[in-house]
């Protein structure tokens, strides 16, 4: 018992080799954090636990799957061309995130109208509790002419990375100042440089925005029939081709280049001596753990935090919101203001048999469009 107690006390006093083990565990969080931040200059994804594992998986993904971005979006949605009605299942990670985070970035008028519709439906049903879904709410946006598409704006997620890196280096320098021990600083600084180098690879941008620009078509983003919201992005000369983007990550033209594979191989090899160095540090290891903990907290925040479309390089201006307690009424109102868009929404959100009056109404819309 005394021997066991001494061993445990010694391990908790000066934990050794544990940090090197943590470096090779996990890695999925880092991949998503990079997907959030990489592609538009410096990507401040901090050095943390799991980077060695991620470097290996990224190399295998680039060689085997020819991709760096996560293989599947974490929110299933559709992209519908407002002009011809062509519908595509989305494979773009950033479009999936834009739909997933819609409640976070939607305009205040959209939230207000949605609440009104739910209240009206509650009254119609004679219920004391608001329903979770009622009717359909269509948010109308247009590309922002004043900003450059495919260039992400900075937000709290981005700045948290820079602050975390500075904090990590500040902690790592403490043992050097107090004990003259530079081991923790070397590991932290080297890990930070390798992490930043990974986020600077041009492949991130090629995959993230795999689409043509200056599209004049309008697009509809939606989770599909039964959802509360549909997002309409009107076409103008500054718009991105969202059909391209929806299928861009499966496009052969975005496959990982020879340079990307070689760069990832070099980075993967460089993580190995860092792993060996970290395993050899036996003094002041709690400082190393502190930098790793700060890093993984920032990575988790960056990987899961909701963001606005502009933070993904898709700049939009809010136009208006259209919503009624009945889906068909919303479709009528949308078609009246935006000919053709309501018709495309009808194909997605109304699959039942229409009444004679509804058929007549849509025939009138068709005649007006010529």
Residue-wise pLDDT for 186-234, tens only, equals 999 999 999 999 999 999 999 999 888 888 899 999 998 889 999 999 9
Indicate the number of domains in the chain.
1
Range of the domain at 114: 2-325
Q: In the predicted model, is pLDDT for residue 14 greater than 60?
A: no
pLDDT band at 265 (very low <50, low <70, confident <90, very high): very high
* pTM: predicted TM-score of the whole model, two decimal places: 0.88
The per-residue pLDDT for 16 is 56
In this prediction, residue 126 carries a pLDDT of 87
Q: Cα-Cα-Cα-Cα dihedral of 99, 100, 102, 104, to 10°?
A: -160
What own/partner pairs with CB < 8 Å and gap ≥ 24 does 272-276 have? 272/52, 274/23, 274/52, 274/187, 274/190, 274/191, 274/194, 275/20, 275/23, 275/24, 275/52, 276/20
- Whether 342 is in a domain gets the answer no
| 42 vs 350 pLDDT, higher one | 42
Any domain includes 91: yes
Name the percent of the chain lying above pLDDT 90.
60
- Exposed/middle/buried for 269, CB within 10 Å: 0-12, 13-18, 19+? exposed
Residue 344 domain flag? no
- Please give the mean pLDDT across all residues of the chain: 88
Please indicate, yes or no, if residue 297 is contained in any of the structural domains: yes
At residue 157, the 3 state secondary structure works out as: helix
Residue 368 falls inside a structural domain: no
Q: Is residue 367 part of a domain?
A: no
pLDDT for 213: 87
Strand ranges, E, within the chain = 78-81, 87-89, 136-143, 219-222, 229-233, 316-324
Dihedral-angle region of residue 53 (phi above 0 means left; psi in -120 to 50 means alpha; beta otherwise): alpha
Tell me if 336 is assigned to some domain. no
Residue 340 resides in a domain? no
Mean per-residue pLDDT, 125-144: 91
Question: How many whole angstroms separate alpha carbon 90 and alpha carbon 99?
Answer: 11
Q: Which band of pLDDT confidence, cut at 50, 70 and 90, is reported for residue 15?
A: low
């Amino acid at each position: 018992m005394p021997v066991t107690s001494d061993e445990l006390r010694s391990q908790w006093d000066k934990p050794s080799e544990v940090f090197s083990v943590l470096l090779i565990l996990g890695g999925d969080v880092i991949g998503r954090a990079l997907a959030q931040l990489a592609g538009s200059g410096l990507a401040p994804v901090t050095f943390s636990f799991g980077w060695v594992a991620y470097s290996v998986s990224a190399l295998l993904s680039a060689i085997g799957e020819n991709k760096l971005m996560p293989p599947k979006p974490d929110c299933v949605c559709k992209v519908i061309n407002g002009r011809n009605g062509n519908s595509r299942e989305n494979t773009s990670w950033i479009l999936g995130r834009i739909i997933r985070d819609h409640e976070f970035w939607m305009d205040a008028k959209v939230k207000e109208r949605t609440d009104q519709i739910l209240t009206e439906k509650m009254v119609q049903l004679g219920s004391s509790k608001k329903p979770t879904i009622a009717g359909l709410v269509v948010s109308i946006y247009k590309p922002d002419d004043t900003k450059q598409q495919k260039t992400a704006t900075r937000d709290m997620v981005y700045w948290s990375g820079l602050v975390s890196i500075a904090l990590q280096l500040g902690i790592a320098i403490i043992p050097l100042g107090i004990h003259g021990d530079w081991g923790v600083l070397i590991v932290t600084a080297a890990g930070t440089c390798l992490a930043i180098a990974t986020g600077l690879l041009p492949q991130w941008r090629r995959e993230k925005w795999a689409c043509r620009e200056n599209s004049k078509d309008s697009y509809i983003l939606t989770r599909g029939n039964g959802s509360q919201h549909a997002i309409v992005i009107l076409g103008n000369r500054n718009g991105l081709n969202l059909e391209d983007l929806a299928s861009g990550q499966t496009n052969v033209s975005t496959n990982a280049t020879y340079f990307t594979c070689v760069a990832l191989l070099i980075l993967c090899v460089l993580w190995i001596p860092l792993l060996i160095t970290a395993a050899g540090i036996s003094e002041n290891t709690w400082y190393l753990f502190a930098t790793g903990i700060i890093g993984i907290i920032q990575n988790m925040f960056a990987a899961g935090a909701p963001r606005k479309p502009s933070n993904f390089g898709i700049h939009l201006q809010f136009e208006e919101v259209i919503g009624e307690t009945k889906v068909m009424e919303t479709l009528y109102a949308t078609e009246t203001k935006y000919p053709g868009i309501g018709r495309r929404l009808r194909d997605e959100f109304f699959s039942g048999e229409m009444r004679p009056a509804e058929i007549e109404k849509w025939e009138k819309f068709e005649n007006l469009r010529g």
